[in-house]
Amino acid sequence: MAISVRAATEFNDVKTMLGPKRNPEAKACWCLGHRLGSARNHESQKQGAELVRVLCAEDPPPGVLAYEGEDVVGWAGVHARADTALAHSRTIPHVDDLAVWSVWCIRVRAGHRGQGISHALLTGAVEFARGYGAPAIEGYPLDN
């Protein structure tokens, strides 16, 4: 089945990808660390769902989602670097002064890995950022 990538405007689909699986009250990443900065993110982990709900309603939304048919199967966090904690990072150097966008998280649901979904997410994130006028996009690969 073909993979489609869309802006992350559907909170319930973002929740499927990022929210805690068993205990809705549990602390979860919600992919907010780079959007909020580590101190604010740590303080707000229990409010992550509501913060993400608000971000999904904003323009631009907080990232992109990959779908296989109508089933959400992936997530990529992408936003203008200037509006993230990455703008102030001491460990990630700025190559130039372009108003780049950053991809900092790609997540693929179990059972859907190894099918090219992360590639589709990255392509979708580039198109998404380009649609908002991004002159370039950067990412931070990490092999967990």
What CATH number did the domain enclosing 130 receive? 3.40.630.30
Other C-beta atoms closer than 10 Å to the C-beta of 136 total 15
Q: Render pLDDT for 89-142 as a digit per residue (tens, 0 to 9).
A: 888 878 888 999 999 999 999 999 999 999 999 999 999 999 999 999 998 777
- Say if 129 falls within a structural domain: yes
Residues 6+ apart with CB under 8 A from 135: 98, 99, 100
pTM of the full structure: 0.90
Number of domains observed in the structure of the chain: 1
- Say if 106 falls within a structural domain: yes
Per-residue confidence at 26, pLDDT binned at 50, 70, 90? confident
- Say if 22 falls within a structural domain: yes
Q: Name which of 2, 7, 3, 1 is nearest 76 in CA terms.
A: 7
- Say if 144 falls within a structural domain: no
What domain range includes position 9?
3-139
Q: How far is CA 139 from the centre of its chain?
A: 11
What local confidence, expressed as pLDDT, does residue 116 receive?
A: 95
- Say if 113 falls within a structural domain: yes
- Say if 80 falls within a structural domain: yes
- Say if 28 falls within a structural domain: yes
